[in-house]
Amino acid sequence: MPRGAIFDIDGTLIDSVDAHAEAWQRAFARHGYDIGFADLRSQIGKGGDQLLPTFLSGEALTRDGPKVDAAHGEIFKQALLPHLTAFPGVRPLFQHLRDRGTRIALASSAKAEELDVYTEMAAVGDLIETATSSADAEKSKPHPDIFAAALARLDLPASQVVVVGDSPYDAEAAGKIGLRTIGLLCGGFPEADLRAAGCIALFADPADLLRRFDDSPLAGA
């Protein structure tokens, strides 16, 4: 049985992927860029440092990238974050893990203040051991920095920790430092993409993972 579990947040614990895509779309539009919602949604899971170069390059990235990034944060925090909810089953899943002695960390590209809101929203603040945010990573996913920071705080070997995420970028980032990843489909990424990125098991959402816990890598299967 793994001794630790590292959870992504956006799209994994909180139903926020569409909201982030909308915030990015509105932020790009504010600065004169018409970017399709589906194109933006496919990049959610990355931080702004990795998402922006997908759509801007050269002078445009230098000139407008920071402004678009700031606008995304403003729009998301003020207009969309207050309306988000956690997926069903998050707290019962975390409680089950804690009851089994599994240590839990959160690892997200979100800013620290957003992370605090998410933790309260999911009602898991008393069940987690540590959390890492964008401030703890030089580069966001698919780079492994955020997971590496969480792993270091748990102070466990990678072989004894499992990541739970919703995007291919979670699995790619985790795999770069020897972490296995369970994929959740509630973030909306295609099953084939999650498997191709390295997910070793797939579940619908946190509640499904809890229902089928004994057959999951979190139980040692």
The answer, yes or no, to whether residue 1 has pLDDT greater than 90, is: no
Q: Dump pLDDT digits (tens) for 129-161.
A: 999 988 899 999 999 999 999 999 999 999 999
| More confident call, 3 vs 221 | 3
Model pLDDT, residue 110: 83
pLDDT-derived band of residue 112, with 50, 70 and 90 as boundaries?
confident
Please state whether 179 falls in left (phi above 0), alpha (psi between -120 and 50) or beta: beta
What's the CA gap between 22 and 84, in Å, rounded?
A: 13
* Sequential DSSP letters for 153-187: HHT--GGGEEEEESSHHHHHHHHTTT-EEEEEGGG
Which pLDDT score, from 0 to 100, does residue 113 have? 85
pLDDT digits 0-9 by tens, 47-67:
999 999 999 999 999 999 999
pLDDT for 54 equals 97
Q: Per DSSP, what are the bridge partners of residue 4?
A: 103, 161
Tell me what pLDDT residue 172 has: 98
The predicted-structure confidence for 170-196, as pLDDT tens digits, reads as follows 999 999 999 999 999 999 999 999 999
Question: Helix, strand, coil proportions of the chain in percent (round to 5)?
Answer: 55, 15, 30
For 4-16+85-219, which CATH superfamily applies?
HAD superfamily/HAD-like (3.40.50.1000)
Q: What's the pLDDT score for residue 189?
A: 98
- Percent with pLDDT over 90 in the chain: 94
Q: Where are the domains of the chain?
A: 4-16+85-219, 17-83
Alpha-carbon distance 65 to 53, whole Å?
Answer: 8
Specify the pLDDT at position 34: 98
Specify the pLDDT at position 203: 98
Among the listed residues 12, 9, 5, the one whose alpha carbon sits nearest the alpha carbon of residue 154? 5
- pLDDT at 137 (0 to 100): 93
Q: What is the pLDDT of residues 77-98, one digit of tens each?
A: 999 999 999 999 999 999 999 9
pLDDT of residue 221 exceeding 70: no
Nearest alpha carbon to residue 54 among 20, 75, 24, 16 = 24
**What's residue 47's pLDDT?**
92
